Structure 1
Amino acid sequence: MKKKSLILAISVLLASCNHEAEQKEESSPRLAESKEMVTEMATISEDFKIEDIEVSSADIGDFPFLNLPTGLQAANVLEKNFDVCFFPLDGRMVPFEGRLYKANVVASQGEDYSKRYFEKSIEEYLLAIGAVKVFDGEITKEEYERYHRKDPNKGGAGDMGYWDQHIHFYVVRSKDNGNIYIQYTSNNAGGQLNILQETVFEQTITKITSDKIADDLAEKGKAILYINFDTEKSNLTAEGKEVVKEITAALHKDKSLKISIDGHTDNTGDATHNKRLSQDRAEAVVDHIILDGISQDRLIAKGFGSSNPLFSNDTEQNKAKNRRVELVKIN
């Protein structure tokens, strides 16, 4: 069976230039739910010890480590560089975190779907690479109602974990790729497949500082920032004002520095509106910098709307990258 490599690219951004829903403090119910999930993950080892599964030295290729058998294809694929997925342990859906692949499985054009063919193909391959079956059955309706509101990945690709689904759950402890969790289910019309490669979360959020801004301007001639504004307005939020203070500090340190403050949006909505909004926001940043004692003749405000994207606006992640403020050094 051939193995294919799926390359994932995803960025986590702090804020956006014209984000429809700016990040705010989570409500106490949401915080409680988050704490509950962390506690649940921390107690997994009481019921399931990954160390009890023998390490496999099989060459399993690249993520997601298996392709579909001939005559079947993936549809509505979901891929995340880091996320959570729930797997059944003794009938209880338990969250695991890592690199995630989820897909619906359907027949290729001109082929008929066979539940037996899909399940037998996956099972024999998993066993051949040293996977161990840890669950084979259904969860209760009560268990579904308990956990399903916590699952952020329901509603599209590879949905699994309903009380009327027969779930097959396997674990591979790969010598080269770490712990890998695979679950699948099927009926006579099609199947679902979930694969998670367990990884440790890496924090990528860092504080924007005047030194970093100055370094970027000196080395690249440009600094890309993500500044919070009120939704569909040019009013800076408290977080946005903190970022602007760092811009001002960089300008105070280098008295000769002049910059253009360029506002950018994604392509959502009316182009004329987006250009006007990006101009207003760039001017709002300039106004706050002037209030902090920087001369206006060192600053220019420009709004480009969606005309200069960094990435194609084909995903929400890429749109978030395009919603930005750029500081461009003026020579």
Structure 2
Amino acid sequence: MKKIVVIGAMLGLLLACSKKNKDTEEVSVPENPVEQTQESLANAEKQEVEVLNIEDIPVSTADIGDFPFFTLPAGLQSLNKPFEKKFDVCFFPINGVMTPFEGRLYKIFVAAEQGEQFSKLYFERSMQEYLLSIGAVKIFDGEITREEYDRYNKQDPNKGDDGDIGYADQQIHFYVIRPKDQGAIYVQYVATNEGGALNVLQEADFKQTMTKVTADHIAKELTQQGKSILYIQFDVDQSILKKEAMEVVGEIAKALKATPTLTISIEGHTDNTGDAVHNRKLSGQRANAVKDALVQLGIESKRVTASGFGADKPLVENTSEANKAKNRRVELVRIN
């Protein structure tokens, strides 16, 4: 009733303005002001923050097992290797608004096993009946608008990866499970006649695990793992050690002094950005800068060698900025 009153008032205002100015100037009146007003109201409502109160979801007493909590229906399989993160963000639709939740994340594309045909009905009904049987509550079942996709998609760091859901042309089914003794579990899935996708997120708070690099930490890794991976920061295309880097080098020196028989190789690595030959040269210069600093701190030169590998030995594929950052590193490798 409230919306009808608002629309009527706006129509009256438009018509009055049109009549008043008729004899003096041309006035552009929308062809269908009712539809335009309804669209404006709908867009205004979309700006409201959507909130899911987990306390409103009944607690499930079902034995839901371990993460990711359930298998696929018989005859179906993950198309590729699952996209799994111990902590990340995933967007789920609440009243058509894609809303971020953080925690442990699992995403897959779903396909039929070899020799089988994918059935959209079979996948969707299997998912729905199982989720309801373990106490899941349906939160949303529908499509998001193109405007909503345009609003949120750049906020999603995993947009376009395996198992991704949240496009304007998808019928998204979203459920929430509230276990008794662990974080809320968010499940969404989509399907076509060709295949489907499934996302599972177990909500969890972020836990800071970063600590200062210490001599004890370096010595422990060299003893137990044979290497210690360090992220010593350099300016772009430079090999001069900055103040923060010198603090790390100081800890390396302490570790070597604590074990006089220890010898190491310092290996410099880069990502794959730029010329490969230049990257190998730059990584060698950076490794030698670390070696020279250690010698200045009292470490015998014969106990340390230095070399650069450029992008030849990546830790992970250089497919994202986060992965490239992991590949830009200095490794200490124990020789004896």
The separation in 1 between residues aligned to 2:244 and 2:136, in whole angstroms, is: 47
Instruction: Work out whether 1:111 is the aligned partner of 2:106.
Output: no
The verdict on how the C-alpha distance between 1:255 and 1:185 changes in structure 2, with shifts beyond 3 A counting, is: closer
Would the alpha carbon gap of residues 284 and 91 (structure 1) be closer, same or farther in structure 2, given more than 3 Å must change? same
Map of 2:58 onto structure 1: 54
Moved more, 100-109 or 258-267: 258-267
Q: Give the Cα separation in 1 of the matches to 2:313 and 2:203.
A: 33
Q: Which residue of 2 aligns with 1:178?
A: 183
Contact 2:291–2:306 (CA under 8 A) maintained in structure 1? no
Cα deviation for residue 260 of structure 1 reads: 2.5
**Cα gap change, 1:262/1:79 in structure 2, threshold over 3 Å: closer, same or farther?**
same
Instruction: Work out whether residues 97 and 196 of structure 1, in 8 Å CA contact, stay in contact via their aligned partners in 2.
Output: yes
Distance 2:91 2:333 in 1: 42
Task: Show the counterpart of 2:79.
Answer: 75
2:92 is aligned with 1:87: yes
Correspondence for 1:190: 195
Measured against aligned partners, the alpha-carbon deviations of 1:188-214 in whole angstroms (never above 9, x if no partner) come to 222111100111211111111345446
Residue equivalent to 2:136: 131
CA distance in 2, matches of 1:152, 1:321: 19
The 1:318/1:110 distance shift into structure 2, 3 A limit, reads farther
Structure 2 contact 229–330 (Cα < 8 Å) conserved? yes
Greater mean alpha carbon deviation, residues 317-326 or residues 206-215: 317-326
TM-aligned CA distance change 1:314 to 1:176, over 3 Å: farther
TM-score normalised by L of structure 2: 0.70
Cα separation, 1, equivalents of 2:221 and 2:124: 53
Deviation at 1:320, TM superposition (A): 3.8
Q: 1:218 to 1:153 in 2, by over 3 A?
A: closer
Q: TM-score, normalised by structure 1?
A: 0.71
Give the aligned partner of residue 63 of structure 1.
Answer: 67
For 1:310-321, list aligned pairs within 5 A.
Answer: 320=326
Once structures 1 and 2 are overlaid, which stretch shifts more, 99-108 or 218-227?
218-227
Q: Provide the C-alpha distance between the structure 2 equivalents of 1:94 and 1:313, rounded to a whole number of angstroms.
A: 29
Unmatched segments (≥5 aa) in structure 1: 1-42
1:95 CA drift (Å) = 0.5
* SS of aligned partner of 1:200: coil
Q: Residue 326 of structure 1 aligns with which residue?
A: 332
Distance 1:104 1:241 in 2: 46
Shift of 1:271: 10
Task: Map residues 26-65 of structure 1 onto 2, 5 A cutoff.
Answer: 47-65=51-69
1:271–1:305 Cα contact (<8 Å) kept = no
Consecutive unaligned residues of structure 2, counting only runs of 5 or more, are 1-47
Q: Higher RCO, 1 or 2 (CA under 8 Å, sep at least 6)? A: 1
Within 1, Cα distance between the matches of 2:314 and 2:170? 42
Asked if residue 300 in structure 1 is aligned to residue 295 in structure 2, the reply is no
**Based on CA coordinates, which of the two structures has the bigger radius of gyration?**
2
For 2:223 and 2:75, the matched residues in 1 are separated by 55
Work out which of the residue numbers 142, 145, 163 in structure 2 matches 1:140: 145
The answer to whether the 8 Å contact 1:180/1:196 transfers is yes
- The one-character-per-residue Cα deviations of 1:148-171 (angstroms, maximum 9, x if unpaired) are 110111112122111221111000
Aligned mates of 1:166, 1:220 — CA distance in 2: 48
Question: Measured at CA, do residues 164 and 277 of structure 1 come closer, stay the same or move farther in structure 2, by a change above 3 Å?
Answer: same
Deviates more, 1:294-303 or 1:265-274: 265-274
Q: Secondary structure at the match of 1:55?
A: coil
Which whole-Å deviations, capped at 9, do the CAs of 1:14-66 have from their partners, x for residues lacking one?
xxxxxxxxxxxxxxxxxxxxxxxxxxxxx98x732111111112112221111
Task: Provide the aligned length of Structure 1 versus Structure 2.
Answer: 285
